[in-house]
Amino acid sequence: MDQLPQQLVNGLWQGAALALFAVGYALIFGSLDIVNLAHGANYMWGAFFAFLIVTRLNQPFWFALILAMIAAGLLAVLIDRLAFKPLRAMTVGSIVLWAGTIVLLAAVIVPLDTSVALAIGVVGAAVMLAGLILDSRTTRLLRSGTPPQLAPMIASIGASIVLISLANGIVGARVSRFPADVFPATPFSFGSVFVAPAQVLVLVVALVLICGLTWLIQRTQTGRAIRAISFSDRTSRLLGIPVDAVIGQTFFLSGTLAGAAGALLGLAFNRLDPNMGTEVELAGLTVIILGGMGSVLGAAVAAFLVGMIRVFSVAYLDSGARDAIVFALLIGVLILRPAGLFGRGSAGRA
Amino acid sequence: MDLLGSNSGTVAFVLINIALALSIYLTLASGMLSLANAGFMATGAYTAAILASQFGLPLVVGFVAALMLAALLALPLGGVLIRLGGVYLAIATIGFGEIVRIGVLNGDRLLRLVGGASVPTVFNGAEGIILPYSSPSLVLGIPATIWPLIAYVLALIYLVATLKGSRFGRVMAAIRQDETAAATLGIDVVRAKLIVFVLGAMIAAGAGALSTPIVRVIDPRNYVLSRAVDILAYAVLGGTTSWIGPILGATVLTALPEALRSLRDQRDVVNGVVIMLSILFLPNGLADRRLLRWPSFGRAKA
């Protein structure tokens, strides 16, 4: 039992990173009732944005972290405009945006001359930008009525496949690693407990960001708008809240958190691959269900719980048991207490 | 003469995927999004592969055993899970799929815990079970391994098409449209959903069992979440309002990557875009009545 303090420390920082990931998940579910299964791909791209900035542009990690968060946030907004917004409010802009996206994707995936691909890609990006602007300006909807219940989830699965496959093509399916000199590696030691500087960074940044998000949601105008929309988007619209803009901001926040989690965990484990989002996605699902779908505080607390369970099951049982225990917990909570440990009680059974 | 030539692999996978798409179609047509199909497919594949590799039993035995085991698993699982609505059922079934994957990955260790260290290697962890290769003989110009699949898919189409017009098919449609209303009409919603869930599980397990002579390497990576997602994509692209949809969707999405072979790693981009576009712009899928009966385009509105 002498490894107990070390395992507690491991559970703490891994739980913090998981909390960072899951809070973004919960934010989207809470305000839009959408399970955004592209959140894991967003996390993965956050890690790769940081990786590319560090290795290709030779920038320090802290700078790469900030840029990666912004890039992941913008990516989340794009996912909303492509996958979710057309379902709730399709405009002419959505179609223009999609046309641009298809052109851009074609330029990326079809093997072409570099200059030709670049030219087509720029045209695609320009059309996408025009589509985004058009989409935010037009109010005339091409379709009315609510989408089928499961449509957003399936659309986000499609987005996730695209993003993972793009990463496979651009970075390669192999495991990438940050260069050794990007962050100090000498661990601090407290008696028998060792803590790497990267792990301290994960814990500190995660706590700061989660506290920042809580402050933003509770105390600012944007936060009030987000909470109003989570209560009822129809009422919010009647009260003059620019619903689609606020939803865009919510996605941006959620994406930056996923990006931060990806970049930080990518650094702490120093192991990046295009499928890294899938594993954390499933752990994240467990966390938001355990925490009560949509409850940000619940997600944070549940993340530490799940982080501890994962670390301890590896240390004391078996590495294969780790995920099995987490999923058994997931199913157990769904059956016994579908509103989650901190849920508002109404969610769950249809 | 080999009628299919080098395409026999693609044809086999199209047939397997049609069976899987029909399995998820049944649950979707009753308003349930269950992603447990990959897990049940793994159950079936491992059952048939273990019976073949350890006991040398023929595929027929493996197939029947796979159906029975899937029913045995799906009955209690469905009993607790189908009460969950919408995304919660989806998430819980994702959890089930992962537990099956982790279970077969560590299957040998579990067996040794129960039976002692002398138990031979059965599941073979991440490397999986490798069945011996034998060049399939041709029967009527088609490899013998494909005939069971053809028969299976035809039987499934018959089953699903008959179901659609039957009383039970109308019960399923009623539940899909409004569960509460269906319950008020005296339909035993839980029982009907459980039957559909078990049926879907058995179909997926049967497809898994029949796929073993074709894939030959049965390893856990074949049955991960992305597999379940692929199956869902077949049904979504094709549409779930009629049984033609999943068949169309599975055929297009299985043949498409073969046609896009030049894109190599990034073929999946096309798959993902197709899923997104079909959910956004073709909410009823390719087998939309309005598209099939094109002369009445624009007027046919439910």
Could you tell me if A240 lies within 8 Å of chain B, comparing CB atoms? no
What pLDDT, on a 0 to 100 scale, did the predictor assign at position A42? 93
What pLDDT, on a 0 to 100 scale, did the predictor assign at position A345? 43
Q: What is the mean pLDDT of residues A162-190?
A: 80
What is the distance in angstroms between the Cα of A327 and the nearest Cα belonging to chain B? 5
Residue A341's pLDDT band (cuts 50, 70, 90): low
Contacts with B180 (C-beta within 8 Å, 6 or more apart), sequence order: none
Question: Between chains, do A348 and B88 touch, taking CB under 8 Å as contact?
Answer: yes
Q: Please spell the DSSP secondary structure of A274-327, one letter per residue.
A: TTHHHHHHHHHHHHHHHT-TT-HHHHHHHHHHHHHHHHHHHHHT-TTHHHHHHH
Amino acid (one-letter) located at B132 = P
pLDDT at B298 over 50: no
Question: Between chains, do B90 and A150 touch, taking CB under 8 Å as contact?
Answer: yes
What pLDDT, on a 0 to 100 scale, did the predictor assign at position A342? 65
What pLDDT, on a 0 to 100 scale, did the predictor assign at position B165? 82
How far, in Å, CA of B110 to CA of A129, rounded?
Answer: 55
What pLDDT, on a 0 to 100 scale, did the predictor assign at position A2? 64
ipTM score assigned to the predicted complex: 0.84
What pLDDT, on a 0 to 100 scale, did the predictor assign at position B4? 60
Q: What is the mean pLDDT of residues B114-134?
A: 73
**Across the interface, which of B86, B92, B275 has its CB nearest the CB of A331?**
B92
Residue A48's pLDDT band (cuts 50, 70, 90): very high
The residue among A311, A334, A330, A332 whose CA lies nearest residue A322 is: A311
What pLDDT, on a 0 to 100 scale, did the predictor assign at position B293? 47
Residue A349's pLDDT band (cuts 50, 70, 90): very low
Tens digit of each residue's pLDDT (9 = 90 or more) over B147-193: 888 889 999 999 988 888 888 888 888 888 788 888 888 888 888 88
Contacts with A47 (C-beta within 8 Å, 6 or more apart), sequence order: A68, A262, A263, A265, A266, A272, A276
Tens digit of each residue's pLDDT (9 = 90 or more) over B208-223: 998 888 887 888 877 8
**Across the interface, which of B87, B90, B98 has its CB nearest the CB of A282?**
B98
Tens digit of each residue's pLDDT (9 = 90 or more) over A200-258: 888 888 889 988 988 988 888 888 888 888 888 788 888 888 888 888 999 999 999 99
Question: Between chains, do A166 and B269 touch, taking CB under 8 Å as contact?
Answer: yes
Which segments of chain A are extended strands (E)?
188-190, 193-195
Question: Between chains, do B276 and A155 touch, taking CB under 8 Å as contact?
Answer: yes
Torsion of CA A320, A326, A329, A330, to 10 degrees: -130
What is the distance in angstroms between the Cα of A129 and the nearest Cα belonging to chain B? 19
Which segments of B241-292 are extended strands (E)?
none
What is the distance in angstroms between the Cα of A168 and the nearest Cα belonging to chain B? 6
Report CA A171 to chain centroid distance, whole Å: 19
* Residue B217, beta-bridge partner list: B130
How far, in Å, CA of B23 to CA of B13, rounded?
Answer: 15
What pLDDT, on a 0 to 100 scale, did the predictor assign at position B149? 87
**Across the interface, which of B92, B105, B268 has its CB nearest the CB of A320?**
B105
Please name the residue of chain A whose CA is at the shortest distance from the CA of residue B83.
A349
Q: What is the mean pLDDT of residues B124-129?
A: 74
**Across the interface, which of B85, B224, B269 has its CB nearest the CB of A162?**
B269
Residue A346's pLDDT band (cuts 50, 70, 90): very low
Q: What is the pTM of this model?
A: 0.84
Rounded (10°) angle between helices A321-336 and B86-105:
150
The residue among B192, B253, B266, B236 whose CA lies nearest residue B30 is: B192
Handedness of CA A199, A201, A204, A210 (dihedral sign): negative
Question: Between chains, do B102 and A320 touch, taking CB under 8 Å as contact?
Answer: yes
**Which residues 318-347 of chain A have a CB within 8 Å of chain B?**
318, 320-321, 323-324, 327-328, 330-331, 334-335, 338
- Tell me if B274 sits within 8 A of B260, measured CB to CB: no
Q: What is the mean pLDDT of residues A279-287?
A: 84
**Across the interface, which of B95, B269, B276 has its CB nearest the CB of A109?**
B269
Contacts with B234 (C-beta within 8 Å, 6 or more apart), sequence order: B17, B18, B20, B21, B24, B246, B249, B250, B253, B254
Two structure tokens written together for A87 = 């379902």
Question: Between chains, do A278 and B233 touch, taking CB under 8 Å as contact?
Answer: no
